Amino acid sequence: MASKRIIAIILVAVIAVGGGAAAWFFLLAPGAGTYKWTASDAPGAPSTINASQIIRVGVIGDTERIQGEGSVNGAKLAAKEINLRGGVTVDGSVYYIGITSENSDEANPVLDTAVAVSAAKRLINYKKVQFATGGFRTEAGLAYQDLWMEKKIIFFNTGAATAALTGKVLSEYATYKYFFQPSPMNTTGLAIELIKLVISTGMSQTAMIGSNVTRFSFLREDYAWTAGFAGLMIPALTNNSVFNMTFTGASIAFAPDATTLEMNAHWNNIESNNTQIVIPLISGPIGLTYMTSYASIKPKCIPIGINVVAQDGNFYSDSAGAAAYGVTLESVFETNKTSLTLPFWKHYVGNYSGVTPIYTATGSYDAIYQLAWALEGADTFDPDDLVTQLETLIPGASLEGAGGNGAYDQSHSPYYGWPYGIGLAIQWQNDTKKHLVPAPGIYPSGGPLGNALVNMTALQLPDWGLYFYD
């Protein structure tokens, strides 16, 4: 009778609230059961394996948007490749990597961190994951970071760049040592890559049009990471030994759910400042509105920065052609960034019906390979021993990945600069993404990349011209 009463109370709660939070409560309530892991969770593994042979990996992310979809797809692809090759051997036994996911909704312009926390709890308490990867929004990551750490679950962050997450490894090592960030580069590293890209493209445009292209502005999402980014970039762009540029004073922060009318007004503001290069700092879906408004207003400037949705292979069609001329940093492209990049690209596109990988896909793919490497190297599932093993990935003793060679600093952030973390500049030209020719010694950071990469092309300027260029 008592158990029936408890169930009735829970059902009333579900009906009364009528949504996600109550449903999560029902599934996580004591006695709600445990997820049953089967061979179907381990792509590429033999169909005869049982739950005890599965390495349980959870992926958290906004699985209804490209950011989280990429994390899941990348992790599953790596698991499939590893499992088809015979799995992972630990202490004399063979295991296969299983992947499950939960939707954190963290790319939603109207972020609700409670949803992200519930997703993490479901992976931990219901699905009993041993390891996890994913993430996207810093604010969501901060909300659920402690949940993984309390359980000593090694978490590979592959979405958020700010040092707020990895900084805790330095300040409270004993608690946060289980947190690793194989990708993306942290804010400083990304800013350096973007600074070098802007300088190199400013120089190339100056040469192309015979007039100085130096005036830059920011048009960015109103998030903490973008403010820090702009703050790092302004002094570096205006005072360097290569090509000094001029800040117009415009650093416009817009709401993640800004309307087309609001975005049009921002572009008109950018135009009124005689901007030549506008630097987008955009991680969410508003990047589509940003580019459609750009194509409509046709300001005499070119966007060169970070626009995550522009990494999507369908972005040109999704934007009805408005993607043209936009330049964004991307983790990988169909080029030989490492010896693993081209095979990864081709396998990903073939496995996911033509969909191309964005940075979260590459990050989760490399994270799963790092996990498999650590498990076999440490020959144990003990999280403390695995942390010690992962910490041996340092410059000179790194692990090659599709996105670069994996190596960690003391905060468990990835090293940046060749051959570790570097970005590749991608521009939409007509209906095709093109990889822009690097500027050796400037962009990307160091390395023998000048003429060594395949499938490169020159920067294309908008056909309506730049400021001082008609």
The domains found in the chain, sorted by start residue, are 1-33 (no CATH), 41-184+342-403 (3.40.50.2300), 188-330+422-457 (3.40.50.2300)
∠ CA 311-182-286 to the nearest 5 degrees? 30
pLDDT of residue 452: 67
On the question of pLDDT at 12 being above 90, the answer is: no
pLDDT at 188: 84
C-alpha to C-alpha distance for 178 and 148, rounded to whole angstroms: 8
Average pLDDT over residues 258-283: 96
Spell out the residues 6+ positions from residue 336 whose beta carbon is closer than 8 angstroms to its own.
Answer: 342, 452, 453, 454
d(CA 430, CA 424): 19
Question: For residue 415, is pLDDT > 50?
Answer: yes
Strands 131-134, 93-103: pairing is unpaired
When pLDDT is cut at 50, 70 and 90, the band that residue 2 belongs to is very low
Residue predicted with more confidence, 9 or 182: 182
pLDDT band at residue 333 using 50, 70 and 90 as cut-offs: confident
55 backbone dihedrals φ, ψ, rounded to 5°: -85, 115
pLDDT tens figures, 17-70: 334 443 443 344 433 578 999 999 999 999 999 999 999 999 999 999 999 999
CA distance linking residue 444 with residue 422, whole number of Å:
6
pLDDT grade, residue 440 (50/70/90)?
low
**What pLDDT, on the 0 to 100 scale, is given for residue 29?**
41
What pLDDT score does 50 carry?
96
Q: ω before 235 within 30° of 0 (cis)? A: no
pLDDT at 178: 98
Whether the CB-CB separation of 182 and 366 falls below 8 Å is answered with: yes
pLDDT digit string (tens) for 151-201? Answer: 999 999 999 988 899 999 999 999 999 999 998 988 888 888 899 889 888
pLDDT over 50 at 145, yes or no: yes
3-state DSSP assignment of residue 466 = coil
Average pLDDT in the 208-223 region? 91
Of residues 202, 180, 91, the one with CA closest to residue 367: 180
Q: Which runs of consecutive H residues, i.e. helices, occur in 179-285?
A: 187-209, 224-238, 260-272
17 — phi, psi (to 5°)?
A: -80, -35
Q: Which of 94, 168, 161, 100 is nearest to 128 (CA)?
A: 100
Q: Which of residues 442 and 15 earns the better pLDDT score?
A: 442
How much of the chain, in percent, has pLDDT values that exceed 90? 71
Strands 131-134 and 399-400: unpaired
**What angle (nearest 5°) sits at the alpha carbon of residue 461, between those of residues 456 and 463?**
130
- How far is CA 320 from its chain centroid? 24
- Tokens 């958290």 correspond to 60
Side-chain half-sphere CA neighbours of 282 within 13 A = 33
Tokens of 167: 């900084």
Q: What is the mean pLDDT of the chain?
A: 89
Mean pLDDT lowest among 142-156, 353-367, 368-382, 415-429:
415-429
- Percentage of the residues of the chain whose pLDDT score is greater than 70: 90
What tokens were used for 161?
Answer: 């760049």
- Cβ within 8 Å of residue 62, ≥6 positions away: 68, 103, 104, 105, 106, 107, 108, 136
State the sign of the Cα–Cα–Cα–Cα dihedral 187, 192, 193, 194: positive
pLDDT band at residue 320 using 50, 70 and 90 as cut-offs: very high
- Report how far residue 270's alpha carbon sits from residue 434's, in angstroms, rounded to the nearest whole number: 26
Q: What per-residue string of b and e applies to 92-107 under the rule 16 or more CB within 10 Å gives b? A: eeebbbbbbbbbbbbb
13 — pLDDT class (breaks 50, 70, 90)? very low
pTM recorded for the entire structure: 0.87
**Above 60 in pLDDT, residue 3?**
no
